[in-house]
């Protein structure tokens, strides 16, 4: 039997488009001799459909879409797709997250998800009822341990404590399947590929069955799927590897021997490719924009954002705008212009002095007797934000927000100013990683696309004379080491002090700044998630009210002290 894995990129809610895509791939797999073709989790709806699932009319339309797929696939081809299906019982959440095997116009079998992730960006208990007893399904003599995404991840958590009591793979293994097939919508984060390798090796060691994983690819608002679909022999050896960050079709013939394959991935290259995909899918799936628009400051964040946009959309679909003030350095304009030249994008210059002067006049009576400060600094950022939004509104451009995770974390941004935009490209990328990205972009191009001066100059918001980020913030190596431990690893100040040796009061100050700027982040655009803990839907912190953390004296701890890069 020949099984195909179709690693496709569905769009959330676009049932017609997704059905077409599924049928296209099913026919292609069939032409190449497949007997069975497998699509990802919730491939009919895209992942995550969120509260669309609460609209009965949407769920009904999904069932009709399933019927259309079943009716239209080639005769005798089995097709496994993911979709929400109604729970007909009188009790419980109204849906199951299901994998359906369709053939010859009907639903041959259905596997329902047992473990419902409800953490970070996942809200599955909000919508779905859990399957209590997974069953191996049979199709053309093949016994398939069909299951969905999280169902495989409990084995990974054998380190105590585990989230789930149940082990659906163990339950399926007890029914003697010939093969495991997992359909997933497993998001990308840096390092996830290695996690999947380790997990599947362990599963194969435990259960000695071939393991096929078909994952979604593409970006849906914040969440990016890298694909990484794969086929493993019963001994754990990988025999087929899908392309990363793009659609692909893999085959496995149960009767033929296959050679092994391994994929080596690089964190910075993955990060680059994930962000490019994130920009492209936001732009193309939304399908209303004429261009992407980036405000260029001459600094590293806007330069990297702009380079990624040019890669994602083509330089002809990117407009860079420099908006110097009287405070701006000369490099603010010249480095921006050099970048635009290097990328081959359209470039415009709109000085903001008229707006600054106007607001100065308007506010003079109210501000009389006060010293210039944050209010005046923010005016400059907001004058730029208003200018960019005017261009966006007039010409239908997608404004890309350029702030990085480090500055969003501590609130070193102007709300309604530089945070403006439809999508925040670097909001999950710490500043030190932005530099790595810049070097990667240049290495990839084989030339200094991002001007060396942009990489070399000290970071500055340029909102007052001779301003440097280090006037307000610790050096980024220090800041990022603290932020990674607090945000991604949820460590508290004493532990961070113990691990880094940094001054306890400095560490505590950073943590307090992160907490105090929740109100800003609540109003920033959705950001592309590339780590295990991004700001946005996966991190839900209160705005009003505060936890007054204890002073940050270092603690000695029995836990191993990890060294982070």
Which residues are annotated as catalytic?
41, 113, 149
Spatial distance between the Cα atoms of 537 and 424, rounded to a whole number of angstroms? 13
Q: In angstroms, what is the minimal distance from the CB of 182 to its own copies?
A: 22
Residue 121 interacts with its own copies (CB under 8 A)?
no
Question: Which candidate, 397, 452, 453, 405, places its Cα nearest to that of 426?
Answer: 405
Residue 359 interacts with its own copies (CB under 8 A)?
yes
Q: In angstroms, what is the minimal distance from the CB of 216 to its own copies?
A: 13
Residue 140 interacts with its own copies (CB under 8 A)?
no
Question: Which candidate, 291, 351, 279, places its Cα nearest to that of 319?
Answer: 291
Residue 562 interacts with its own copies (CB under 8 A)?
no
**Which residue shows structure tokens 């950073």?**
510
Spatial distance between the Cα atoms of 112 and 96, rounded to a whole number of angstroms? 6
Stretch that binds its own copies, among 155-163, 207-215, 242-250, 438-446 (CB under 8 A): 155-163
Question: Which candidate, 312, 256, 310, 305, places its Cα nearest to that of 282?
Answer: 312
Q: Which long-range contacts (CB under 8 A, 24 or more apart) does 53-59 make?
A: 53/84, 53/95, 53/127, 54/127, 58/13, 59/84, 59/86, 59/94, 59/95
What 3-state class would DSSP assign to 230? Answer: strand
- Write the binding mask 385 to 424 for its own copies: x where contact by CB under 8 A, - elsewhere: xxx-xxx-xx--------------------xx---x-x--
Residue selected from 326, 357, 471, 553 as contacting its own copies according to rule CB under 8 A: 357
DSSP 338: H
Spatial distance between the Cα atoms of 83 and 65, rounded to a whole number of angstroms? 10
Residue selected from 140, 326, 519, 557 as contacting its own copies according to rule CB under 8 A: 519
Residue whose CB is less far from its own copies, 20 or 436: 20
Residue selected from 133, 257, 544, 551 as contacting its own copies according to rule CB under 8 A: 544
Stretch that binds its own copies, among 231-239, 262-270, 344-352, 445-453 (CB under 8 A): 344-352
Residue selected from 1, 14, 334, 554 as contacting its own copies according to rule CB under 8 A: 14
Sign of the CA dihedral with 278 first, then 282, 283, and 284 last: positive
Residue 551 interacts with its own copies (CB under 8 A)?
no
Residue selected from 155, 185, 479, 537 as contacting its own copies according to rule CB under 8 A: 537
Spatial distance between the Cα atoms of 240 and 509, rounded to a whole number of angstroms? 49
Q: In angstroms, what is the minimal distance from the CB of 106 to its own copies?
A: 24
Stretch that binds its own copies, among 20-28, 84-92, 176-184, 436-444 (CB under 8 A): 84-92
Question: Which candidate, 134, 151, 208, places its Cα nearest to that of 185?
Answer: 151
Q: What Rg, from alpha-carbon coordinates, does the chain have?
A: 26
Residue selected from 131, 526, 528, 534 as contacting its own copies according to rule CB under 8 A: 526
Question: Which candidate, 225, 203, 88, places its Cα nearest to that of 152?
Answer: 203
Look up residue 30 and give its two tokens. 């069939």
- Give, in degrees to the nearest 5, the angle at Cα 230 between 179 and 268: 155
**Which residue shows structure tokens 């694909």?**
227
Beta strands, E only, 261-367: 291-296, 318-322, 346-349
| Binding positions for its own copies, 26-55, rule CB under 8 A | 46, 48-52, 54-55
- Write the binding mask 222 to 261 for its own copies: x where contact by CB under 8 A, - elsewhere: ----------------------------------------
Q: In angstroms, what is the minimal distance from the CB of 222 to its own copies?
A: 9
Residue selected from 42, 383, 482, 497 as contacting its own copies according to rule CB under 8 A: 383
- Write the binding mask 435 to 474 for its own copies: x where contact by CB under 8 A, - elsewhere: ----------------------------------------
- Write the binding mask 299 to 338 for its own copies: x where contact by CB under 8 A, - elsewhere: ----------------------------------------
- How many of the chain's residues bind its own copies (CB under 8 A)? 98
Residue selected from 193, 382, 405, 433 as contacting its own copies according to rule CB under 8 A: 382
Exposed e or buried b for every residue in 421-460, given b needs 16+ CB within 10 A? bbbbbbbbbbbbbbbbbbebbbeeeeebbbbeebbebebb
Stretch that binds its own copies, among 69-77, 206-214, 277-285, 303-311 (CB under 8 A): 277-285
């Amino acid at each position: 039997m020949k099984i195909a894995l179709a690693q496709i990129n569905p769009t959330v809610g676009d049932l017609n488009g997704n059905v077409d895509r599924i049928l296209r791939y099913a026919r292609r797999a069939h032409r190449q001799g497949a007997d069975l073709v497998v699509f990802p989790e919730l491939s009919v709806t895209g992942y995550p459909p969120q509260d669309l699932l609460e609209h009965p009319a949407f769920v009904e339309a999904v069932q009709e879409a399933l019927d259309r797929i079943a009716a239209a696939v080639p005769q005798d081809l089995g097709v496994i797709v993911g979709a929400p299906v109604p729970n007909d019982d009188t009790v419980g959440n109204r849906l199951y997250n299901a994998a359906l095997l369709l053939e010859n116009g009907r639903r041959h079998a259905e596997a329902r998800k047992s473990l419902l992730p409800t953490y970070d960006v996942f809200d599955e208990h909000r919508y779905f009822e859990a399957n209590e007893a997974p069953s191996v399904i049979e199709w053309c003599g093949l016994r398939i341990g069909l299951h969905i995404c999280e169902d495989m991840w409990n084995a990974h958590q054998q380190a105590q404590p585990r989230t789930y009591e149940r082990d659906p793979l163990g339950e399926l293994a007890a029914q003697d399947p010939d093969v495991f097939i997992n359909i997933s919508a497993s998001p990308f984060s840096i390092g996830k590929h290695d996690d999947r390798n380790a997990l599947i090796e362990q599963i194969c060691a435990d259960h000695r069955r071939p393991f096929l994983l078909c994952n979604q690819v593409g970006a849906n608002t914040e969440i990016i799927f890298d694909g990484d679909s794969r086929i493993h022999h019963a001994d754990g050896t990988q025999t087929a590897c899908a392309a990363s960050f793009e659609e692909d079709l893999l085959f496995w013939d149960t009767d033929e021997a296959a050679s092994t394959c391994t994929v080596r991935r690089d964190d910075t290259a993955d990060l680059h490719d994930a962000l490019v995909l994130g920009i492209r899918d936001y732009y193309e799936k939304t399908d209303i924009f004429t261009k992407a628009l980036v405000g260029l400051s001459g600094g590293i964040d806007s330069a990297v954002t702009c380079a990624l946009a040019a890669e994602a959309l083509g330089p002809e679909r990117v407009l860079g705008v420099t908006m110097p003030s009287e405070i701006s350095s000369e490099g603010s304009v010249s480095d921006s212009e050099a970048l635009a030249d290097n990328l081959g994008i359209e470039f415009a210059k709109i000085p903001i002095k008229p707006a600054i002067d106007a607001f100065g006049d308007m506010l003079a009576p109210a501000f009389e007797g006060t010293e210039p400060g944050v209010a005046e600094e923010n005016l400059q950022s907001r004058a730029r934000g208003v200018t960019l939004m005017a261009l966006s509104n007039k010409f239908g451009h997608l404004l890309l927000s350029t702030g990085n995770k480090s500055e969003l974390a501590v609130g070193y941004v102007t709300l309604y100013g530089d945070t403006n935009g439809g999508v925040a490209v670097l909001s999950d990328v710490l500043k030190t990683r932005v530099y790595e990205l810049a070097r990667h972009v240049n290495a990839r191009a084989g030339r200094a696309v991002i001007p060396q001066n942009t990489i070399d100059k000290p970071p500055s918001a340029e909102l007052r004379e001779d301003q440097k980020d280090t006037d307000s913030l610790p050096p980024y190596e220090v800041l990022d080491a603290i932020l990674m431990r607090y945000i991604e690893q949820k460590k508290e100040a004493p532990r961070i002090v113990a691990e880094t040796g940094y001054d306890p009061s400095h560490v505590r100050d950073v943590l307090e700044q992160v907490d105090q700027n929740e109100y800003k982040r609540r109003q920033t655009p959705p950001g592309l998630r590339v780590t295990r803990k991004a700001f946005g839907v996966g991190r839900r912190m209160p705005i009003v009210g505060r936890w007054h953390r204890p002073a940050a004296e270092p603690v000695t701890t029995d836990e191993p002290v990890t060294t982070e890069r």
